[in-house]
Amino acid sequence: MSHADTIFALATGAGRAAVAVLRLSGPNCAAVIRSLAGTLPTPRMATLRTLRRGDGAALDRALVLWFPGPRSFTGEDAAELHLHGGRAVIAAVGEALAALGARPAEPGEFSRRAFLHGKLDLTEAEGIAELVEAETEAQRQQALAQAGGLLARQARDWAGRLTTLLAQEEAAIEFAEEDLPSSLDGEVRAGAAALACEITAALADGGRGERLREGLDIAILGAPNAGKSSLLNALVGREAAIVSARAGTTRDVVEARLDIAGVSVTLADTAGLRDGADEIEAEGIRRAHRRGEEADVVLALFAADAPPDGETLAVLGRRRCLVLLSRCDLAPSPLPATVAGEPALAVSALTGQGLDALRARLEEEVASRAGGGSLLTRPRHRAALEDTARHLAAAADAPVPELVSEALRQASQSLGRLSGRVGVEDVLDVVFGSFCIGK
């Protein structure tokens, strides 16, 4: 990948459409547009032009937009061609661009160039990717906030304060003979401790941002014929799983996607838990147990018209579950309020009884695990900030100023990994700008 190349890519979906948009960026973008459209349009103004090949043959009548750098998304000279959306038109213009020396862009290359030219930091670039991938309203809101710089702004604030602390400690060490405050080292240590506490508080979000971005898993566990497949179908509103009175019909995990409280959720119907199954069904039961261990939420299903089975009761003993009494329309009243001491909700996939209450409980569970408002949306963010907080805590407790400075430097590097920018010139600027040393 060479950043000296001029690149192009289709910015709209593949297939026939009324309009297709080709984006270009790179140092030779102006020359390419002149060759295709005759002259450069007025910057940032859509202009109707006839695009022509090198031999003068017309390619299309298109709207051309010209974005001279650095006032463009990538920071380079850039352009957009709004073409008619036929495949032949797109192919012909692409061939003409390649003949003029441009090349097809690699995945993410426009955003990468924007990062390299200082238009985005890594968290904002990740937000753009998350916005493209968003499936639910809550994911869209979180991705839009990230792309808009929510974490980037907070990271810049932390980085600015950390840079000041490091500059002050360096000054206290290197210029001890100068007229600097004697309390400077203590103030730096206190500042490092306060910053560590602030970052630790941001980390204590339970992973909500990552879960919202990635989605949650809900597993339905229970004995054969407890009504697991019927419940899954009722919740997703379609026949996603085969329903049969024959025990052991579900032998593998059956998944369905749905939106709960704005969070993308994978609902899994699993093989019925029982002893004495054949080899194939036993593998399905093993997978059911594994899915239950890995799931964010487990629905433990007991048939209301039968005694609680021991296998599902064992699941309750290992982890917290939402306990359901299924097929409540077939059971005599009154139904028990609890199973093994856990509150139980009666539901019927056939009549719909209890389903609204179950959906409300699921919304509460999902919102508690993956609600919006978190700064962190990726494990990379968490790892960088955990390292930063650890180094800041070490700085606050270091026995000598030299170790305080080294810990602050490591904290700065860890925080720089968050945004993708690590520099030392900022420290020098603060040292010489704030303390006016050597005047």
Binding site residue list for (6S)-5-formyl-5,6,7,8-tetrahydrofolate: 23, 80, 119, 439
Binding site residue list for GTP: 225-230, 244-250, 269-272
Q: Can you give the pLDDT at residue 368?
A: 86
Separation between Cα atoms, residue 51 and residue 64, nearest integer Å: 9
* CATH number for region 7-116: 3.30.1360.120
How far apart, in Å, do the first and last CA atoms of the chain sit?
47
Q: Does domain 137-205+378-434 have CATH number 3.40.109.10?
A: no
At the topology level, CATH places domain 214-370 in Rossmann fold (3.40.50)
Question: Nearest to residue 424, comparing CAs of 436, 435, 412, 415?
Answer: 412
Q: How far is CA 439 from the centre of its chain?
A: 49
Residues 326, 347: contact at Cβ < 8 Å? yes
Binding site residue list for Mg(2+): 229, 250
Separation between Cα atoms, residue 77 and residue 67, nearest integer Å: 6
Binding site residue list: 23, 80, 119, 225-230, 244-250, 269-272, 439
Q: What ranges do the domains of the chain cover?
A: 7-116, 137-205+378-434, 214-370
* Cα separations in angstroms, 64 against 21, 32, 40, 42, 100: 10, 12, 9, 10, 17
* Cα separations in angstroms, 232 against 291, 350, 364: 15, 12, 18
As given in the structure block, the two tokens for residue 173 are: 């060490």
As given in the structure block, the two tokens for residue 85 are: 């959306």
As given in the structure block, the two tokens for residue 49 are: 């032009």
**Cβ neighbours of residue 169 closer than 8 Å, sequence gap 6 or more:** 184, 185, 188, 401, 404, 405, 408
The three-point CA angle 109-113-118 to 5° equals: 150
Tell me the average confidence (pLDDT) per consecutive run of 10 residues in the chain, 439 residues long.
Answer: 84 85 96 95 96 94 96 95 94 95 90 88 87 88 92 94 90 67 82 96 91 91 87 81 48 81 89 74 82 91 89 88 90 84 90 92 90 84 94 93 92 89 52 41
Separation between Cα atoms, residue 354 and residue 370, nearest integer Å: 24
Q: Can you give the pLDDT at residue 96?
A: 96
